[in-house]
């Protein structure tokens, strides 16, 4: 009877936690897409067709050639197929996954507290923690949410199942987590630390060796799952890890500067776990590489050393909490910039990286608080009061920050205010206002981006676009060129520069730029669209049509695009006839013939086509055919000075033969 009552109490407690967390995040169902969401929802044509699913998931994400996340991506693709670009279902799915993760953390907490309700505290704190606002409110954090779901499931199954089912269940969850995001690689070591935390606080070397012997089947299953994942990854990509552009990888500098960066990253992430009240932002910015004169970086390195030392001490003093905190640090290893992360200009870490490690940290902190309170004979009521105050502060901070993710303008304004040293907010506000036709405001924010980060190319690109729309084409071209000088891998800068050069008649240089710097790089349609424009201006309508068709096929939403407009223009036969005359003037009769054939396919005006074709036949020294064409026009009632002149020229050529 007592056991059943306890179970019902725990279930009601868990329900209360989930209701609290669900109510907190319910507002996100009315939010739109922000930041990288557009790249996922609108970025690629193969994302929008179920028939192209395998093609889509076998490729890396556009953000990096090393991001292979087919399972989490598939969850987004299914929603795209079902609901298109309606944001509510995407946000609802994120909230649902977060609720499942919260439930799993609660269940793991109850297990660690041996059935006492205190374990629900860790789940509640996890569910409302401000560091997870990005993970839940940002659709593109689906990768982190789903990887965490399967990692927590693996920990839950580890204590729930027995025998072969346990090995198979944990290994399968590990494989699924790996297919969501690469950071899941740390699970085998996390599992060992997790099991040590449950061995009555044992920390001897003998107990570790005994554990390794006892659990060799489980660890073997994890290694097998890792091998299967690596095989899938290699089969899909053709490589396991490849070099990336220096423009997207953090500049770490010298070994000492690299050490400062690792210290800054660790201190920032762990600091967010404990005190996230004044530092929540979507862009944690730093000067990179970190200057050796940065005294705060040295202080953060000292804090990082203290954090590691504190965790080591806790392993000795409160082993269960210590092993869990150690597991949290291990979970952070892939994102500590030990290998430079691939991030935007000046961003060195992100809060979504805490989605899984935060669970381990909160479990460790919760157990550690109760263990230390027991050792110090502190009343539990006093401890619960302190936790409640901290929890209320977490809840208020999360509720306060959530509206910043409502829409793109709110998001970028908040980011610019929260990270004023980063150009990301200013630059993206400028881009947003350019797209909305608010070019004066776009110019203002582009100049702020340049002022904050004069070596970041996107500020110059957005300023160039604003000036172009305001009528200053020459300065716009200069700004696009400046962006490419600062960032040689700035694809948008190169693309815009090429288009401007083409408009000024420098088509050969424009084509070279597109082929060298834009073609083959995401977004894939951009190069083909630009080449279509360039070839149109070079009177190579045959090539232009082919490029526009490639761009059209790659565009996720082609309606209203430059490619669609270009293809519409090329349906006009008079453009093909004009191009044929151009090539006749250039004495390239083969291209002239090709363009006249293109005109035939578009139902040309009889007189214009007849004049062009007869002129071509004269240039090809085929006057009899020319005379026949012209005579048919005259007999049909068409007589112009041009027709008369060409007919006379054809007759003179025949007379001389």
What mean pLDDT is predicted for residues 423-452? 96
Is it the case that residue 247 has pLDDT exceeding 70? no
| Positive or negative torsion for Cα 323, 325, 331, 334 | negative
DSSP symbols for 409-454: HHHHHHHHHH-TT-HHHHHHHHHHHHHTT-HHHHHHHHHHHHHH-T
One-letter-per-residue 3-state SS of 81-121: HHHCCCHHHHHHHHHHHHHHHHHHHHHHHHHHCCCCCCHHH
What span, in angstroms and rounded, lies between the C-alpha atoms of 155 and 111? Answer: 11
pLDDT value at 292 more than 50 = yes
Task: Of 262-266, 445-449, 506-510, 518-522, give the lowest mean pLDDT range.
Answer: 518-522
pLDDT digits (tens, 9 = 90+) for 36-76: 898 888 778 889 889 999 999 999 998 889 999 999 999 99
Task: List pLDDT tens digits, range 309-365.
Answer: 999 999 999 999 999 999 999 999 999 999 999 888 889 999 999 999 999 999 999
pLDDT tens track for 458-516: 999 999 999 999 999 999 999 999 999 999 989 999 999 999 999 999 999 999 999 99
Alpha-carbon gap, residue 271 to 273, rounded angstroms: 5
Please say whether the beta carbons of 354 and 273 come within 8 A: yes
Q: Given this model, what pLDDT does residue 372 score?
A: 86
Among 131-145, 369-383, 464-478, which stretch is predicted with the lowest mean pLDDT? Answer: 369-383
636/631 Cα distance (integer angstroms): 8
- Quick one: which of 621, 601, 614 has its CA closest to 640? 614
Q: Can you read off the two tokens belonging to residue 457? A: 């190319």
Per-residue pLDDT at 143:
97
Quote the Cα angle for 495-498-504, to 5°: 145
| Ordered domains of the chain (ranges, CATH) | 2-240+260-403 (no CATH), 408-556 (1.25.40.10), 573-656 (1.25.40)
Given a contact cutoff of 8 angstroms between Cβ atoms, the answer to whether 184 and 151 are in contact is yes
pLDDT tens digit sequence for 510-539: 999 999 999 988 888 999 999 999 999 999
SS3 for 347? Answer: strand
pLDDT of residue 204: 67
Q: Are 487 and 251 in contact (CB under 8 A)?
A: no
Q: Which of 515, 544, 507, 516 shows the shortest CA–CA distance to 529?
A: 544
Tell me the H-state helices in 333-422. 357-375, 380-401, 408-418
Q: Tell me the three state secondary structure of residue 348.
A: strand
**Model confidence pLDDT, tens digit, residues 632-641:** 998 888 888 8
* 143-169 confidence digits (pLDDT tens): 999 999 999 999 999 999 999 999 999
Kindly indicate the confidence band of residue 1, based on its pLDDT and cuts at 50, 70 and 90.
Answer: very low
State which of 208-217, 331-340, 624-633 shows the largest mean pLDDT: 331-340
- Contacting residues for 400 by C-beta, under 8 A, at least 6 apart: none
- pLDDT band at 2; cut points 50, 70, 90: very low
> What tokens does 365 get?
């902190």
Bond from prior residue into 523 cis (ω within 30 degrees of 0): yes
The average pLDDT across 297-311 equals: 97
Q: Distance between CA 534 and CA 502 in Å, rounded?
A: 6
pLDDT of 203 above 80: no
In sequence order, what DSSP letters do the residues of 610-645 get, joined into one string?
HHHHHHHHHHTT-HHHHHHHHHHHHHTT---HHHHH
What pLDDT, on a 0 to 100 scale, did the predictor assign at position 138? 97
Residue 13 has pLDDT above 60, yes or no: yes
Indicate if the pLDDT at residue 216 is higher than 70.
Answer: yes
CA gap 328, 90 in Å, rounded: 28
What is the sign of the dihedral through the CA atoms of 164, 167, 169 and 172? Answer: negative
Give the separation between CA 301 and CA 296, rounded to whole angstroms: 9
pLDDT at 246: 65
Q: Is 388 exposed, middle or buried (0-12, 13-18, 19+ CB in 10 A)?
A: exposed
Q: How confident is the model at residue 381 (pLDDT cuts 50, 70, 90)?
A: confident
Residue 464 has phi, psi (to 5 degrees) of: -60, -40
| E strand or H helix that includes residue 486 | helix 473-486
> Model pTM?
0.91
pLDDT digits (tens, 9 = 90+) for 169-184: 999 999 999 999 999 9
Tokens of 340: 């430079």
Q: Which helix (H) or strand (E) holds 209?
A: helix 205-214
Average pLDDT, the chain: 93
Mean per-residue pLDDT for 240-247?
80
Looking at residues 593-604, what average pLDDT do you find?
94
Residue showing tokens 């990288």: 36
> How many angstroms separate the CA atoms of 180 and 150, rounded?
9
């Amino acid at each position: 009877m007592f056991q059943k009552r306890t179970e019902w109490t725990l279930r009601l407690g868990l329900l209360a936690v989930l209701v609290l967390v669900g109510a907190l995040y319910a507002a996100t169902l009315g939010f739109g897409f922000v930041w990288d969401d557009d790249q996922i929802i609108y970025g690629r044509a193969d994302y929008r067709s179920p028939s192209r699913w395998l093609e889509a998931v076998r490729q890396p994400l556009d953000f990096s050639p090393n991001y292979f996340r087919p399972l989490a991506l598939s969850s987004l693709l299914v929603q795209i197929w079902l609901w298109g670009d309606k944001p509510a279902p995407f946000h609802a799915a994120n909230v649902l996954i977060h609720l499942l993760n919260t439930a799993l953390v609660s269940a793991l907490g109850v297990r660690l507290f041996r059935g006492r309700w205190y374990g629900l505290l860790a789940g509640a704190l996890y569910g409302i923690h401000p560091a997870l606002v990005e993970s839940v409110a940002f659709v593109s954090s689906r990768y982190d949410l789903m990887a965490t779901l399967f990692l927590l499931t693996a920990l839950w199954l580890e204590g729930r199942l027995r025998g072969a089912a346990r090995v198979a269940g944990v290994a399968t969850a590990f494989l699924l987590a790996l297919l969501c995001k690469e950071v899941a690689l740390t699970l085998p070591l996390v599992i060992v630390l997790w099991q040590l935390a449950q061995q009555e606080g044992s920390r001897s070397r003998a107990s570790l060796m005994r554990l390794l012997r006892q659990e060799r089947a489980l660890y073997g299953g994890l290694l097998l799952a890792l091998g299967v994942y690596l095989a899938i990854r290699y089969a899909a990509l053709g490589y396991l890890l490849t070099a990336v552009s220096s423009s997207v990888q953090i500049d770490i500098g010298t070994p000492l500067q690299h050490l400062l960066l690792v210290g800054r990253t660790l201190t920032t992430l762990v600091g967010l776990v404990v005190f996230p009240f004044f530092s929540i932002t979507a862009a944690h910015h730093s000067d990179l590489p970190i200057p050796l004169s940065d005294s705060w970086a040295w202080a953060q390195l000292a804090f990082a050393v203290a954090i590691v030392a504190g965790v080591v001490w806790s392993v000795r003093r409160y082993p269960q909490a210590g092993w869990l905190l150690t597991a949290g640090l291990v979970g952070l290893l892939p994102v500590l910039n030990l290998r430079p992360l691939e991030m935007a200009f000046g961003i060195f870490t992100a809060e979504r990286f805490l989605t899984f490690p935060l669970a381990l940290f909160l479990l460790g902190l919760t157990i550690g608080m109760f263990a230390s309170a027991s050792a110090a004979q502190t009343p539990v009521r006093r401890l619960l009061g302190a936790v409640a105050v901290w929890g209320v502060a977490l809840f208020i901070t999360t509720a306060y920050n959530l509206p910043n993710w409502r829409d793109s303008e709110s998001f970028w304004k908040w980011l610019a205010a929260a990270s004023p040293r980063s150009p990301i907010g200013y630059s993206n506000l400028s881009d947003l206002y350019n797209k909305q036709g608010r070019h004066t405001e776009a110019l203002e924010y582009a100049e702020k981006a340049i002022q904050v980060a004069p070596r970041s190319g996107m500020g110059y690109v957005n300023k160039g676009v604003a000036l172009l729309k305001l009528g200053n084409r020459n300065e716009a071209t200069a700004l696009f060129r400046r962006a490419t000088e600062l960032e040689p891998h700035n694809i948008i800068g190169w693309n815009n520069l090429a288009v401007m050069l083409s408009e000024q008649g420098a088509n050969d240089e424009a084509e070279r730029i597109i082929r060298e710097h834009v073609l083959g790089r995401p977004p894939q349609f951009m190069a083909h669209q630009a080449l279509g424009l360039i070839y149109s201006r070079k009177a190579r309508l045959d090539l232009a049509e082919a490029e526009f068709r490639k761009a059209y096929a790659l565009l996720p939403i082609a309606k209203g695009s430059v490619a669609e407009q270009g293809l519409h223009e090329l349906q006009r036969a008079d453009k093909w006839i004009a191009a044929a005359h151009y090539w006749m003037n250039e004495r390239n009769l083969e291209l002239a013939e090709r363009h006249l054939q293109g005109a035939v396919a578009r139902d040309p005006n009889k007189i214009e086509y007849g004049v062009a074709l007869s002129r071509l036949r004269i240039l090809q020294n085929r006057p009899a055919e020319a005379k026949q064409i012209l005579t048919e026009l005259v007999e049909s009632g068409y007589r112009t000075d041009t027709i008369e002149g060409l007919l006379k020229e054809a007759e003179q050529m025949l007379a001389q033969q």
